[in-house]
Amino acid sequence: TARRGGTDVTTLDLHPAPQAAPAAARIRNHARTEIRLVMRNGEQLLLALVIPIGILVAGRFLGDRVGLTMDLLAPSVLALAIWSTCFTSQAIMTGFERRYGVLERLSATPLGRSGLLAGKAMAYSVISLVQVILLVIVSSTLGWHPHGSALAWLPALGNVILAMLAFGFLALAMAGSLKAEVTLGLANLIYIVGLVAGAILWPLADYPKAIRPIIAVLPTTALGESLRAWGAGQTLWSPLASLLIWAILLGLLARKVFRWIS
């Protein structure tokens, strides 16, 4: 605004000034887009909410017959939700984005490859957080009362973060190196195997002794055992080391095999 001849005159600068939005804004906007895309996908919603809630409801009335009380089942389903979103959903979505050239085009925008991965990580972390909140509400409605102490929160939170990283890196390694259809089938197969044989729903102690050493080293086992210990008010630090090693190894694998172009 300038003053000319006793009158205020407003001038507008209409010269082109193209520039990218700040990096934080680019990542945040991409994360919002990722969240909307996942929520519109029926298969992803099935994995994220329908199956975990169905297991909770069934476990409330039938769990005692298979040795799964609500004290064990509720934290196990929280682990299952993180597993399904950060691994299975991310692998499937990323695989088809890579096949249709979405990743290639987005990586060439100001968002960049690092921004693209950061936006994905933010999106799936938010989705997992919302999942956990909703499942805790459902579990509490069905009679679950967690006993987690303030100290028990520390290793549990650390394990959740490391598990998200490990599962996400595994998803990217698969989606970035295999065909989309192969990723779809293999991700669903690994999801089911993890659910049944990965100590997600059942405690490690319930498996036959002969196979416990194998199951004990899986990242799904570390997350499941950690959340069950938290739900019982116990402080369990040992899974942190396992998940840290898995996150590092799978991160290196994803970096080596991931390809932006199908």
**Model confidence at 49, in pLDDT bands (50, 70, 90)?**
confident
Query: Measured between alpha carbons, how far is residue 71 from residues 121, 142, 178, 192, 196 in Å?
Result: 30, 11, 39, 22, 19
Q: Which of 106, 75, 77, 78 is nearest to 93 (CA)?
A: 106
| Average pLDDT along the chain | 85
Helix (H, G, I), strand (E, B) or coil at 202: coil
Rounded CA separation 103/165 (Å)? 20
3-state secondary structure of 13: coil
Tell me how far CA of residue 70 lies from CA of 46, 80, 108, 193, 220, in angstroms: 22, 15, 48, 22, 19
Beta bridge partners of 9: 2
Q: How far is CA 153 from CA 6, 10, 74, 196, in A?
A: 67, 57, 16, 26
Percentage above 90 pLDDT, the chain:
35
Per-residue pLDDT of 91-115, as tens digits, reads 999 999 999 888 888 878 888 888 8
d(CA 228, CA 246): 20
What's the predicted TM-score (pTM) here? 0.84
